[in-house]
Amino acid sequence: MSNTDINQPINPIMHTYQRFPLTIEKGKGSYVWNEKEEKFLDYTSGIATCNLGHVPDQVHQKLSNQLDQLWHCSNLYEIPSQAKLATLLTENSCYDQVFFCNSGAEANEAAIKLAKKYAKDKGNPERTEIVTFHQSFHGRTGSTMAATGQEKIQQGFSPLTSGFRYLTYNDQKALEQVDNGTTTAVLLEMIQGEGGVNQAEHAWIEKLAAICKEADILLMVDEVQTGMGRTGSLFAYEQYGIEPDVMTLAKGLGSGFPIGAMLAKEHAATTFQPGTHGSTFGGNPLSTTAGIATIETMLNEEITSQVETNSKWLKGQLDALMQEYAILKDVRGTGFLIGIELTVEAAPFIQAFREKGVLVLSAGVNVLRILPPLTTTLKELELFIQTFKEILTEAESVKS
């Protein structure tokens, strides 16, 4: 090591993120500001987390009040806000009981544990496998990484946790392989966000649900990204006419405050008994207060109807751009979970957006992922489209 290397300051943060060259210090509504007070339209929403925009007033007020009362007491005691949030979730879904944790990965871990124990409780110890799908993303913990059907997520971490089998998403022949005698559950996203914004086909989902019901295989939907109004309904499964046995939530549930949840129908939920699972911080007074304020705001202000109306306008504008610019290959997704497939790599477009004051993400090498706050205005959407037109025009002029 040279003297130059020795004298260089060491970043105390582990290098687990390929960060953009931007420091965000403040946020409100659809906008964030950096340390220079430069303003950016945030159409990442903290990766589909700040669904009500940054620092929403209703959530801020309730959290401020809770900060003066109680932060933590552990799950050895009754927590009124936890019970209230669980009631709000079950009354507005097809589920009966809720387990609270701190993240989407933890919610999926809980679902995986539930599925394994469910088979044994039902007298089917031979059912040890959980079916997931290629291009899925379920988290980065040991089990959820193994459940994720992407080699790039798993690379370097072998041997992986066993018990997962990957099938092809939206493939009819794959359905024939679901029930092979060893399957206890199927875990999938209604829209594969990280995997490219790939949406489940209605007929395929209906057949999958029927297969699971017939064989007493738990159908578990990962709605960490699609839940809490992101697709235009409170939960994406509602648009498919099915009632999965288990659903996982996080991201938008707390408006940016860390919280996760696993919801289950009673026949599955009773698998968990005292001592089978737990979480020190899960469902604490602060996180559940944030969850209550978030879901009450969504219901009282009819946020999902706003998403449905505004996302249709956005989709129409993007479809029109696709007819005009050859560099656009496909526009897909539902509500405010939009994937724009390009004929070139997405990274330069993300940079161009950022340089023009708009933040967007990718979902794979060639797909732009657009995640506006559910509360975004038509004026903000128009700004996004105008910026996109400028970038497309510049890109095609360079290409020519």
Q: Does pTM surpass 0.85?
A: yes
Give the dihedral sign, CA 312/318/321/325: negative
Phi, psi of 342, rounded to the nearest 5 degrees: -110, 165
Whether 364 and 240 share a structural domain: no
The order of strands in the sheet holding 367-370 is 328-334, 337-342, 367-370, 361-362
Res 18: pLDDT = 87
Res 24: pLDDT = 94
Whether 92 and 231 share a structural domain: yes
What residues contact residue 190 under an 8 Å CB cut-off, 6+ apart? 199, 200, 205, 221, 223, 226, 231, 236, 237, 239, 240
pLDDT for 76-125, tens place per residue? Answer: 999 999 999 999 999 999 999 999 999 999 999 999 999 999 999 999 99
Q: Quick one: which of 225, 224, 238 has its CA closest to 110?
A: 224
**Does 26 score more than 60 pLDDT?**
yes
Domain of residue 376, CATH code: 3.90.1150.10
143-147: Cβ within 8 A, 24+ apart: 143/108, 143/109, 143/112, 144/105, 144/108, 144/109, 144/112, 147/108, 147/112, 147/187
Q: What value does the mean pLDDT of the chain take? A: 95
User: Please, what is the angle between helix 378-399 and helix 347-355, to 10°?
Assistant: 120
Distance CA 392, CA 389 (A): 5
pLDDT for 243-275, tens place per residue? Answer: 999 999 999 999 999 999 999 999 999 999 999
Structural tokens at position 294 = 């978030």
Distance CA 86, CA 308 (A): 26
The domain tally of the chain equals 2
Distance CA 85, CA 82 (A): 5
Whether 269 and 309 share a structural domain: no
Whether 80 and 188 share a structural domain: yes
**Does 4 score more than 80 pLDDT?**
no
Whether 212 and 320 share a structural domain: no
Distance CA 365, CA 363 (A): 7
Instruction: Give me the domain span that covers residue 74.
Output: 57-300
**Does 357 score more than 80 pLDDT?**
yes
- Check if the beta carbon of residue 231 is closer than 8 Å to that of residue 334: yes
Q: Quick one: which of 319, 300, 316 has its CA closest to 308?
A: 316
Q: Which amino acid is residue 135, in one-letter code?
A: Q
Whether 113 and 206 share a structural domain: yes
Domain end among 256, 273, 300: 300
Strands 39-42 and 31-34: antiparallel
Res 10: pLDDT = 82
Domain of residue 134, CATH code: 3.40.640.10
Residues 213-228 have a mean pLDDT of: 97
Whether 223 and 349 share a structural domain: no
Give the dihedral sign, CA 16/18/23/29: negative
Whether 79 and 212 share a structural domain: yes
Whether 106 and 213 share a structural domain: yes
Whether 19 and 65 share a structural domain: no
Domain end among 239, 272, 300: 300
Whether 155 and 212 share a structural domain: yes
What residues contact residue 64 under an 8 Å CB cut-off, 6+ apart? none
- Check if the beta carbon of residue 109 is closer than 8 Å to that of residue 143: yes
Domain end among 300, 329, 360: 300
- Check if the beta carbon of residue 234 is closer than 8 Å to that of residue 92: yes
Answer with the residue of higher pLDDT: 10 or 113: 113
Residues 192-215 have a mean pLDDT of: 96
- Check if the beta carbon of residue 98 is closer than 8 Å to that of residue 317: no
For the CA atoms of 375, 380, 381, 382, what is the dihedral angle to 10 degrees? 150
Whether 199 and 223 share a structural domain: yes
Give Dmax (Cα) for the chain. Answer: 68
